[in-house]
Structure 1
Amino acid sequence: MRVAVVGIGAMGCLFGAKLSQVAEVTLVGNWPAQLAALRERGLRLIQPDGRSQIIQLPVSNNPETAAPADLALILVKSHQTRQAAETAQLLLAPNGVALTLQNGLGNLEQLTAVLGQTRANLGITSEGAALLEPGVVRHAGTGHTYIAASQETAVPPQEIVALFQAAGFPTSLAADTAGLVWGKLAINAGINPLTAVLQVPNGFLAENEAARRLMQQAAEEVAHVAAAQNIRLPFNDAADQALTVAQATAANHSSMRQDLANGRPTEIEAICGAVVQYGRRFGVPTPVNSVLQTAVQQAEQGTWPEASTPEASLQLLTQKIEQFHN
């Protein structure tokens, strides 16, 4: 199978590297420093156990070099999805399919709008990856990947499952993707914005009482919005699950924290912004997600008050949430 990975960040490189063992893979992206590093030195992939290997991968900023692809794996930030869909349109074979494995809501809809319903599908993954520097990616943790079984696409979902399994990714078909998407959203909303604003690793949220409370409240709000839509999450308690993930990934730095620290746009609109939007639509209050959305937006713009410690930032966030209630 010919695979084009659209997006050359940590996750794009992880999936591209492992899939290159079982498929013909080309990475497609526009980040100059990453393009240069991958071309000159190859990808250094550090495994969860610390072992590393250099993998040479074809990489290009010209989509047509990856054509005709049977599968376009979309692993860009959510605000880049429309552009990625247009890129996929240029490189996909007539019966090729684009698969999103992104964070947040609305990505499949954007792919479908450009490519059509039979050429776009949805996946959800809990694989973790971190970009240490251009050309160096750490596989931060093995997870599970689900591919939507309900989409009647040109490339059958079971073929994608088989491909991912052959590459070493635990993967299965999922009939209920809405629950999985909202379950991942609950974890992302709980962990990502807080670690970004506080500039802390995930483990801080589990260890600090005030941070833990806000993380769990944000996750619970997502669960309430999902319940209002009769969407059943893949776990019984969103607050407990957020804590479990924060503990299991204690040393990790969330992608939103990395984006904010490096002056890149974040995915806050597709995460907390989406929670707030759906909350309004279904009459569910989402004060914590609303305050976190605003805080990250202000941090992106450089207008969020700089605090001397994470604890000071936490105090400010807590005050703003209390004001929201009043």
Structure 2
Amino acid sequence: MKIAIIGAGAMGSLFGGRLALAGEEVWLLDVWEEHVRAINDKGLAIAAADRDIVARPKATTRLEDIGTAELVIVFVKSTATAKAAETALSLLGPDTAVLTLQNGYGNAEAIAAAVGAGRVIAGTTAQGATLLGPGRIMHGGSGETHIGELGGGLTARLEKIAACLTRAGIQTVADDNVASLIWGKLIVNVGINALTGITGLKNGELAEHDETRQVLALAVEEAVRVADAAGVKLPYGDPVEKVLAVAVATAQNRSSMLQDLSGGRMTEIEAINGALVREGERYGVATPVNRVLTLLIKALEKLPRENRP
């Protein structure tokens, strides 16, 4: 399968590398020239707990190098989703599907506005990765990936993409309820990302301290009340225990929000805890803990890089 990945950060590189190792034709599209050059010259180095491996996806900064793809995966930050969706238009053939595995709420809808809802597959992943430098990432933790058609139901293309990812070592389940998937991942991110960004802790360290466990639980419980008000059935039973389990499963991972703060970049807070606050306002559910977490991250974004976690 010819696969184009828009956004070759930690997660885009992880998925691109694993898919290339499985024999798929993979193109990574990114604006970071040094990263692209390193991948093309030396391959993509993936550091993992058991061993280090080198994958050889193709990488480019030029959209026109790729041509059309059978599958486009969007892995940019939520702040760049609309632009990535416009980029995806140049990669579309008659049957191209566009998959989003991004953090946050509203990405699938933004992509659908550009490429059409019928092409969009949304998903969530518990994989964790950290960008170490040009051409180098660390695979920080594994977990299931779930994907579903934006319009619901199970289709042949959904099963084909799930099988392709699974062959690449990314265990993937085709699901018929995408809203549940997105809310389920949103609540995981609500519990982990802002708290790691504020404290500077790795994911697994959140579960080691009573204080961070308590804040995590408060944020997640608020999010569950909003999901209930929206009529969403979550894909797991005990949300707080689920979020803690994900934190432990990705113990060595520095969350994307922490990586952004450390790197002096803007975060996706408005698409995560901020989105939860807005949905709470929409349904009349108070979200004071998530409002505070949102405001603290936005305050940290204004600090010089050397003063951030």
TM-score range, shorter chain: over 0.9
Give the C-alpha shift of residue 58 in structure 1: 1.1
Give the C-alpha shift of residue 249 in structure 1: 2.9
TM-score by length of 1: 0.88
Q: 1:120 to 1:198 in 2, by over 3 A?
A: same
Letter in 2 for 1:189: V
* Larger of the two Rg values belongs to structure: 1
Letter in 2 for 1:227: D
Letter in 2 for 1:216: A
Gaps spanning 5+ residues in structure 2: where?
A: none
- Per the alignment, residue 262 of structure 2 pairs with 261
Q: Distance in 1 between matches of 2:238 and 2:56?
A: 43
Q: 1:199 to 1:288 in 2, by over 3 A?
A: same
Secondary structure at the aligned position of 1:157 is classed as helix
Secondary structure at the aligned position of 1:22 is classed as coil
Q: 1:223 to 1:184 in 2, by over 3 A?
A: same
Q: 1:152 to 1:180 in 2, by over 3 A?
A: closer
Q: Distance in 2 between matches of 1:153 and 1:235?
A: 20
Q: Distance in 1 between matches of 2:222 and 2:6?
A: 32
- Per the alignment, residue 287 of structure 2 pairs with 286
Q: Are 2:291 and 1:295 equivalent residues in the alignment?
A: no
Q: RMSD over aligned Cα, in angstroms?
A: 2.1
Give the C-alpha shift of residue 29 in structure 1: 0.8
Secondary structure at the aligned position of 2:272 is classed as helix
TM-score by length of 2: 0.93
- Per the alignment, residue 95 of structure 1 pairs with 95
Give the C-alpha shift of residue 131 in structure 1: 1.3
Secondary structure at the aligned position of 1:172 is classed as strand
- Per the alignment, residue 48 of structure 2 pairs with 47
- Per the alignment, residue 202 of structure 1 pairs with 203
- Per the alignment, residue 225 of structure 1 pairs with 226
- Per the alignment, residue 117 of structure 2 pairs with 117
Q: Are 2:130 and 1:130 equivalent residues in the alignment?
A: yes
- Per the alignment, residue 324 of structure 1 pairs with none
Q: Distance in 2 between matches of 1:201 and 1:291?
A: 20
Give the C-alpha shift of residue 243 in structure 1: 2.4
- Per the alignment, residue 313 of structure 1 pairs with none
Q: Distance in 2 between matches of 1:153 and 1:29?
A: 31
Q: Distance in 1 between matches of 2:178 and 2:26?
A: 26
Give the C-alpha shift of residue 34 in structure 1: 1.6
- Per the alignment, residue 188 of structure 1 pairs with 189
Give the C-alpha shift of residue 210 in structure 1: 2.0
8 Å CA contact 2:74, 2:98 repeated in 1: yes
8 Å CA contact 1:4, 1:28 repeated in 2: yes
Deviates more, 1:35-44 or 1:7-16: 35-44
Q: 1:84 to 1:153 in 2, by over 3 A?
A: farther
Give the C-alpha shift of residue 40 in structure 1: 2.8
Q: Give the share of equivalent positions with the same residue, in percent.
A: 42
Which digits, 9 at most, give the CA deviation of each residue in 1:129-155, with x for residues without a partner? 111222111121221111214458998
- Per the alignment, residue 8 of structure 1 pairs with 8
Q: Distance in 2 between matches of 1:48 and 1:157?
A: 30
Q: Distance in 1 between matches of 2:221 and 2:10?
A: 28
